[in-house]
Chains A and B, each alone.
Chain A
Amino acid sequence: MINYFKTIYQVSKALLQGMAVTGRWLFQPAITVQYPDEKLTPPERFRGTLVFDKETCTACNLCVKACPTACISLEPYVDPATQKRIAKVNWYQIDFGKCNYCRLCEEACPTKPIKSVRHSHDYEWSMKERSEMFVKWKRDPSPVIADTPKDTGTKAA
């Protein structure tokens, strides 16, 4: 009988103590962020969507070899007049359905000072179909076909 009341006492005490912890936090400013009205700034090293610079790329294939899921493909540009490969791409394609956002391609890329393929700070990006996940950049003279993710320019140059 005594034990019975003892248990009731102990449990209600623990309950009140727990409520006290909750109560203390009740009057402190909220730590949640009301997305999408408020947004956090991603840190400097944030690995967001990949952006590609079709003019500086030298079509060296190092990023293709570095990628663990083989999601990059490219075609070097062949000068129609001389039939020679030059250090430019014809097109460059990333399959974002496979991408791990791992930065291995950016680290492998030899272009300086800005890497041709690099992570932006962009993370808001959605696709409705799998075919939209293939993002293709085409270098001039042919016009750009696929829509590219916008580079918000937050990444330091």
Chain B
Amino acid sequence: MATELIRIPGSDFQTEEMILNLGPQHPSTHGVLRVVLKIDGEVITAAQPDVGYLHRGTEKLAENRTYPQMLVISDRWDYLSAMSNNLIWCLAVEKLLQIEVPLRGDYLRVIMVELNRIASHLVFFGTYGIDIGAYTPFLHAFREREKILDLFEEVSGARMTYNYIRIGGVMADLPEDWIGKCRSFLEWIKPRFVEYDILLTENPIFKDRTQNIGIISKEDAISYAITGPNLRGCGISFDLRKDEPYCHYQDFKFDVPTGKQGDCWDRYWVRIQEMKESVKIVEQALDHLPTGVPNAKVPRIIRPPVGESYAQLEAPRGVLGIYCLSAGEDKPYRVHVRAPSFINLTILQKILVGMKLADVVAILGSIDIVLGEVDR
């Protein structure tokens, strides 16, 4: 009696988990981000974001920069929305100095920050299309963004590193007929949103690639301290412009769009709606722009009293906060930046698990990070 050897088909296949590096030099990581993926076939079993390739140590640099000089550095955090960075630094220092900015200054700040939010979301819209494989939206988005950058260039002299919002107000009042140009831009961009919906939002292929992908649950979003459109995409209506108004945001009427289930498409949709809301805010601000001087009186050498301050605002990517500790010198003793991109990025290791490899880029793009801010 000979024993029969039973062979299970496929049992001699060698299968093992593979480690795949996404980045740091990868066009879809929007900068130098490395994600170490452990994959089992096509399914991701673990993901580890690796940050720090763009680290410039700006928090340390702040310790030997005077307060106005630090503004120049703040432009370089989230370079897609440098106005928000300028504003948050000014808010933190003004809190230390106990300065009240005149109403016109506040309104000018709101106009700039909201225009910058549109520009920043336009970059997201364009590059997210490319991530998914649609090239046309990119060209449309950058055409619109170019117009905003032209407006900024006229008002501040630079296209990305504005250094426009200053401690106590703004750099200078609006140039002549800037308001007219801004209005014609707003009129021009409104019909563009319809085109965006045709091109991307309602496209069935795009929807298939993004709906039910990378779902963030409400609980996860809160426990990972996700903010901004990523949080609102989960259906949580939290927006500092409404919940803790700064710069007279309480004067403006706007809605806070929220998604339903927190998938990639919801996060995308929230950003598109936010652009429309920003248009509304800028229109209201232009309509009710107060007259007067935009700047408060600020001492020539800024030497805040000993103390600490924390200011936060709703940047295009989430809650941007500055903790500033003054020792009574003309330079801060310690500065900490609460960078929304950095904190939003941490959810990646949770939501990537169980997803297919092809969805990684879609999910990463929908988180909308800026590496300059992640690494600072």
Which of chain B's residues has its CB closest to A101's CB? B158
Whether A11 pairs with B204 at a CB distance below 8 angstroms is yes
Whether B72 pairs with A10 at a CB distance below 8 angstroms is no
B127 to chain A: which residues have CB within 8 Å? Answer: none
Whether A45 pairs with B136 at a CB distance below 8 angstroms is no
Query: Would A44 and B198 be within 8 Å (CB), given that A11-B204, A14-B203 are in contact?
Result: no
B68 to chain A: which residues have CB within 8 Å? Answer: 66, 104
B205 to chain A: which residues have CB within 8 Å? Answer: 11, 14
A126 at the interface (CB under 8 A from B): no
A136 at the interface (CB under 8 A from B): no
A143 at the interface (CB under 8 A from B): no
Whether B69 pairs with A68 at a CB distance below 8 angstroms is yes
Size range of the chain B interface in the assembly: 20 to 34
Q: Is the interface of B mostly helix, strand, loop or mixed?
A: helix
- Chain A's nearest CB lies how many Å from the CB of B202? 7
Instruction: Report B25-82 residues with CB < 8 Å from chain A CB.
Output: 65, 68-70, 72-73
A31 to B139, CA, bound (A): 11
A101 to B155, CA, bound (A): 15
B180 at the interface (CB under 8 A from A): no
Say which residue of A11, A45, A67 sits within 8 Å of B154 (CB atoms): A45
Contact with B along A6-44 (1 / 0, CB 8 A): 010011001001101110000000010000000000111
A102 to chain B: which residues have CB within 8 Å? Answer: 72, 161, 163
A115 at the interface (CB under 8 A from B): no
- Chain A's nearest CB lies how many Å from the CB of B56? 12
Query: How many A-B pairs with Cβ below 8 Å?
Result: 65
A103 at the interface (CB under 8 A from B): yes
A43 to chain B: which residues have CB within 8 Å? Answer: 150, 153-154, 157, 175
A21 to B199, CA, bound (A): 8
Whether A18 pairs with B175 at a CB distance below 8 angstroms is no
Query: Would A104 and B157 be within 8 Å (CB), given that A10-B204, A11-B204 are in contact?
Result: no
Say which residue of A7, A14, A44, A104 sits within 8 Å of B202 (CB atoms): A14
Whether A17 pairs with B172 at a CB distance below 8 angstroms is no
Whether B69 pairs with A45 at a CB distance below 8 angstroms is no
Query: Would A17 and B198 be within 8 Å (CB), given that A68-B72, A102-B72 are in contact?
Result: yes
A41 to B302, CA, bound (A): 36
Whether B158 pairs with A47 at a CB distance below 8 angstroms is yes
B156 at the interface (CB under 8 A from A): yes
Whether A103 pairs with B163 at a CB distance below 8 angstroms is yes
Whether A46 pairs with B198 at a CB distance below 8 angstroms is no
A119 to B171, CA, bound (A): 15
Contact with B along A91-123 (1 / 0, CB 8 A): 000000000111110000000000000010000
Query: Would A45 and B156 be within 8 Å (CB), given that A10-B204, A14-B203, A102-B161 are in contact?
Result: yes
B190 at the interface (CB under 8 A from A): no
A130 to B172, CA, bound (A): 34
Q: Give the A-binding residues of B (Cβ under 8 A).
A: 65, 68-70, 72-73, 136, 143, 146, 150, 153-158, 161, 163, 171-172, 175, 195, 198-199, 202-205
Ordered nearest first, which 4 A-B pairs have the shortest CB separation?
Answer: A68-B69, A45-B157, A47-B157, A43-B154
